[in-house]
A = this chain, B = another copy of it.
Amino acid sequence: MSKCRVCREPAVIDLPRHNANFCGEHLQQLCRRQVEKAIADHDMLRPGDRVLVAVSGGKDSLALWDLLRELGYDADGLYIGLGIGTYSTESGEYARAFASDRGLKLHEIDLRDAHGYDVPTAARATRRVPCSACGLSKRHLFDTAARDGGYDAVATGHNLDDEAAVLLGNTLRWDVEYLARQYPVLPAGEGFPRKVKPLVRLTERETAAWCIVRRIDYQVEECPMAAGNRHLGYKATLNEMEARSPGAKATFYLSFLERMAPQLAEHRASEVAALSACAHCGAPTTGEVCAFCRLVEVASAHEPVPVELLARSGRR
């Protein structure tokens, strides 16, 4: 029976990249410390900040909300109903149960109720991959909710695996502009709230373990719209490398932040464009009407598309 590296009690998880095993108590300590370090290293949050957590009902967003409360932040949640069939129905139930069990404040927006469309319909109407309309909708609604609610920052549950996979994709094409923008904090500016990713030093295996030892019920199912996408291919490649050489994934992402990101700082700075207020909703945009309002116009005019139809149509 393997033992906790810290206290020698029975371990609940082995972490090859740390070359150690941990009990439930010291796994939590490790997770808290990694999140504190991420927040401190990148100046993500300060004491007293009001934080809006992007809550999906999955392990990462619920672990994030739990960890931020543990660390003393004033963190509320926002759940967006994306209308992806039973996947969305269930994810909302997990998010609501987590909040009500702990007496936390969860805001909710349902895409169809509030804006007359859902993600499968938007994908069909725009003839693009569902992740495109989904990401655009979430970014806009989180930004708007943070601004309207007076939050200092939006926090998302992107973990080390997510960030490393995005980094691998950008690196395989040496997309210098995208590489320059890949950073775990995006400062507030011109109507946008600060965006932070406090879980970037934790793998998805670690956030899942956090949920288990903290008895957090989360949605295990992955989004059916994402199945087979490139991002998951990059994750698989990184997992193969990690199996050959434990720690390779964390080194890849964290050494990028340390050694390469500073080299690309001038690319980030050169990116400030002139923004004006969207003629429809007032959100900052480079055009006359923002991308979200254009999406709403196209998607809400389209006949509703059930998720099953989209999954069956072989869109990839």
Please tell me which stretch of A45-53, A74-82, A207-215, A241-249 contacts chain B, meaning at least 4 of its Cβ atoms lie within 8 angstroms of it: A241-249
| Complex contacts, A227 vs chain B, CB 8 Å | none
Identify which of B175, B233, B256 contacts A174 (C-beta below 8 A): B256
User: Knowing that A176-B259, A263-B263, A263-B264 are A-B contacts, what are 8 other residue pairs whose CB atoms are under 8 Å apart, sorted by A's residue number?
Assistant: A172-B252, A173-B251, A173-B252, A174-B252, A174-B258, A174-B259, A230-B245, A237-B240
CA distance A256 to B258 in the complex (A): 20
A171 interface residue (CB < 8 Å to B):
yes
A311 interface residue (CB < 8 Å to B):
no
Chain B nearest CB, measured from A306 CB (Å): 30
29 residue pairs from A and B, CB less than 8 Å apart: A171-B171, A171-B252, A172-B241, A172-B248, A172-B251, A172-B252, A173-B251, A173-B252, A173-B255, A174-B252, A174-B255, A174-B256, A174-B258, A174-B259, A174-B260, A175-B259, A176-B259, A176-B260, A176-B263, A230-B245, A233-B244, A233-B245, A237-B237, A237-B240, A237-B241, A237-B244, A240-B240, A263-B263, A263-B264
| Complex contacts, A258 vs chain B, CB 8 Å | 174
Chain B nearest CB, measured from A87 CB (Å): 25
Copies in the complex: 2
How many chain A residues touch B (Cβ–Cβ < 8 Å)?
Answer: 23
| Complex contacts, A245 vs chain B, CB 8 Å | 230, 233
| Complex contacts, A255 vs chain B, CB 8 Å | 173-174
A 168-194 contacts with B by CB, 8 A: 171-176
CA distance A175 to B263 in the complex (A): 12
| Complex contacts, A171 vs chain B, CB 8 Å | 171, 252
Q: What residue of chain B has the Cβ atom nearest to residue A249's Cβ?
A: B172
Instruction: Annotate A27-47 by CB proximity to B: 1 below 8 A, 0 otherwise.
Output: 000000000000000000000
Instruction: Annotate A250-280 by CB proximity to B: 1 below 8 A, 0 otherwise.
Output: 0110011011100110000000000000000
